[in-house]
Amino acid sequence: MAAHDLIVHGGRIVTLDGSSRLVEALGVRDGRIAAAGAVAEVLKDRGPSTRVLDVTGKTVTPGFFDAHPHMDRHGLKQRGGIPIDGRLSIAEIVEIVRQAVARTPKGQWIVLMPMGTPPTGYVYRPDQLTEGRYPTRQDLDAVSPDHPVYIRAVWGWWSHRPFPSVANSRALKLAGVTRDSAAPYNTEIVRDSKGEPTGVFLERNYAPVLEYTLLRVVPRFTHEDRVAGVRLGSAAYSAVGTTAAYEGHGVSPAIIDAYRQVDAAGDLTVRMQVPLSLPSASFDNRKIGELLHHWADRLGGRGSGDGMLRLEGVCVDVGDAEVARIIGEHYPYEQWAGHFYQSLPHDRFVELGVLAARLGLRLNCLVCYDLERVLRAYEDIDKVHSIRDRRWVIIHVIDATPDQLRRIKRLGLVATVTPGFMFMADDRFGLDRLRDRGVPIRELIDAEIPVALSTDNVPHSMLFALWQALSRFDGDSQSALGPSRLGREEALRISTVTGHYLTWEEGRRGPLDIGRAADFVVLGDDPLSCAEDRIKDIPVERTFVAGREVHGPAESARS
C-alpha cells in the first residue's frame, strides 16, 4: 500500500463519523483520510517522505463549516481605512488623524475605520468614549484643515444602532453638506445649537446608505480592494479553523471575480461556495430574467468550479424597500456587503422564483425580516415547479412556529442560523423578547430540518458561534436567553459536519472517516469537555484543507 503523505497522532481525535469514534491517529493520502484508528496500525504506512505530526495534548476535529461568513468583507476591514481599534478617546482618535495628515499629500482623503474595539465593541453610544461625546468636525479640523477626513460607520450587523460616523469641515464641503441638507433615510445629521452640522451622522439602517447619498464623495472600494479582501479574509478564516463555507447571502459579480482571481493564484484556503446576488432593485423582472438565463449554465444544477471555489444558485431578499431603492441606484457598485440589497414583493418573488426553478437554479433568501412571507413565496413557487429536491435555503432563521417548521420540512429547505445574533439581543429582531424561542436550533433539529451554523462575520470565529449556540448568552443583559437543549457533540456536529449538505458534499466531506476530505483542525483544548465559556477562546493551532496545512507553524513537526 502506498505510504501516507501525513500522519497525525498523539492527541484526542474526534471523528464525528456515524458512530462518533475517537481514534488515536489519522493517515492522509492524496488529500483524503486514508486511515483512522490505532496509532500503531496507521504508522505502518509511514514512508520516507511522510510528515508525522504529534499533537499530544491537543484535540483534532473536522474543520469548521461557516454557513454564512462574509469572508470577503472581513478582509475589506483592512482596506476600508486607517484602523483606530481600541482608541476610546477623542484625543487618541485626533492623534491618529494628525499622524495621517503628516504623511498624506494635501487635499487627499483620510478615511478611518469605525470607532471602538472589534469585533463586538464598536462605539454606538457617546459614553463609550472618554469624553462622553462623539468627535466633531471641529475636533478633526484642528489637525486636518486641508484634508477631507471621514471616520466610517460600521456595517450594520457589526454593532448596535445607531452607527456613528464623523466628517470634518473639508469633507462636508466636498460633499455639499450644509445646514439646509436633508438627512438620508433613517439617518440623522447631528446639529449644534445654531443648526449647523457637527460632522456627526447617526445611521439606523442595517445596510448603511450614507456613503450612497450625502457622502458619496468618500473614496469607494476598488477591484484591487475586493481581491485583497478575499485573500486577507481567506487567511483570517483559516486562522480560526474554518475549512469550508457557503455564502448563502450571495455575492455580486465583482466579488465573484475577486474570488476567481484569488483561487487562480492558489491563495484561497477555505473551500467556498457562492450564489449570485441578483440586482432586483436595479432592474425589472424582464432584465433579471435575462441575467438568470445568462448565468444558468454556470449556476444551475450543482454549479461550476473546482474543489476550492464553486458557483451555484442565486440570492434574493425581502428587506427594506427604501434602502434597496437607494442602493440599487448605484448599481453595479456595492459597498461593504458583497451583495445587492433587495426587497422583492410577493408577485415579483414568485415570478423570479419560478423561473429560477425551471432553470435549475437554487434560491437562497434571508428570512430574518419575515419568515412567513418567504415561506408563502416558496410554497407558491413549488405549486408551479417543485423545489423539494433542490435544497433551497432560508438564511438567518430567528423564530419559527410548529406550523412553519412543518412547512419548511415539507419543502425540503435547508436552514442556516446565526447564534451570534443573541449576543446583541436587544438590537436583533426582538431576540431579547423572544428569549428561548429565538434562534430555534433545537426545534429545527427536532423537526429533522437540515441546519448549519454561521458567523455572519460577527465575529468571524465558528468557535464563538459554537459557544453561542450552547450558551445563548446575551451580552446586553449579561444573561442566557433560555437553555439551548443542545449537547456538546450535537453542537459541534452542526458547526463542522452538517453544513456540507448545503454544498451537496455530505458524502465526501465532513467527518474524519476513510475516503473523506482531509479537512480538519488542531485545537488547543477540547470543545466537548472544556468549560463552556472556554469554547469561544480555544486556540486554533493548525488548520488543514485536503491534507495541506493552511494555518499553523511554518516548520513541519517530525518524529
pLDDT digit of tens for each residue in the chain (559 aa)?
Answer: 799 999 999 999 999 998 889 999 999 999 999 999 999 999 999 999 999 999 999 999 999 999 999 999 999 999 999 999 999 999 999 999 999 999 999 999 999 999 999 998 999 999 999 999 999 999 999 999 999 999 999 998 899 999 999 999 999 999 999 999 999 999 999 999 999 999 999 999 999 999 999 999 999 999 999 999 999 999 999 999 999 999 988 799 999 999 999 999 999 999 999 999 999 999 999 999 999 999 999 999 999 999 999 999 999 999 999 999 999 999 999 998 888 899 999 999 999 999 999 999 999 999 999 999 999 999 999 999 999 999 999 999 999 999 999 999 999 999 999 999 999 999 999 999 999 999 999 999 999 999 999 999 999 999 999 999 999 999 999 999 999 999 999 999 999 999 999 999 999 999 999 999 999 999 999 999 999 999 999 999 999 999 999 999 953 443 3
Same domain assignment for residues 87 and 14:
no
3 state DSSP class of 256: helix
Q: Which residues pair with 163 in a beta bridge?
A: 203
How many angstroms separate the Cα of 329 from the Cα of each of 220, 283, 284? 15, 10, 13
Cα distance between residue 417 and residue 92, in whole Å: 38
Same domain assignment for residues 363 and 232:
yes
Cα distance between residue 354 and residue 387, in whole Å: 9
Same domain assignment for residues 53 and 86:
no
Same domain assignment for residues 231 and 352:
yes
Q: Which three cell numbers stand for residue 107?
A: 487635499
Residue 70 domain flag: no
Residue 76 domain flag: no
ω into 114 cis (within 30 of 0):
no
Q: Which three cell numbers stand for residue 215?
A: 457622502
Cα distance between residue 484 and residue 442, in whole Å: 7
Q: Given 473, 488, 509, which residue is the final one in a domain? A: 509
Other beta carbons within 10 Å of 430: 14
Q: For position 464, which CATH number holds?
A: 3.20.20.140
Same domain assignment for residues 188 and 203:
yes
Residue 522 domain flag: yes
Same domain assignment for residues 166 and 297:
no
Cα distance between residue 516 and residue 522, in whole Å: 17
Residue 129 domain flag: yes
Q: Given 212, 235, 260, which residue is the final one in a domain? A: 212
Same domain assignment for residues 252 and 181:
no
Place of cell 423578547: 433
Report the predicted TM-score, pTM, of the whole model to 2 decimal places. Answer: 0.96
- In the chain, how many domains are there? 3
Residue 217 domain flag: no
Q: Given 212, 240, 273, which residue is the final one in a domain? A: 212
Cα distance between residue 206 and residue 208, in whole Å: 6
pLDDT of residue 338: 80
**Closest by alpha carbon to 8, among 59, 49, 48?**
59
Same domain assignment for residues 150 and 199:
yes
Cα distance between residue 89 and residue 115, in whole Å: 9
Phi, psi of 338 (to 5 degrees): 80, 10
**Closest by alpha carbon to 258, among 234, 303, 228?**
228
Residue 71 domain flag: no
Residue 469 domain flag: yes
Give residue 151's domain range: 81-212
Residue 133 domain flag: yes
DSSP notation for 379-396: HHHHHHS--TTTT-EEE-
Same domain assignment for residues 557 and 487:
no
Cα distance between residue 334 and residue 338, in whole Å: 7
ω into 332 cis (within 30 of 0):
yes
Same domain assignment for residues 382 and 429:
yes
DSSP notation for 407-424: HHHHHT-EEEE-GGGGGG
Cα distance between residue 556 and residue 413, in whole Å: 43
Same domain assignment for residues 420 and 483:
yes
DSSP notation for 135-200: --HHHHHTT-TTS-EEEPPPPGGGSPSSEEEEE-HHHHHHHT--TTPPPPTTEEEEE-TTS-EEEE
Same domain assignment for residues 528 and 462:
no
C-alpha atoms less than 13 angstroms from C-alpha of 537 in its C-beta half-sphere: 5
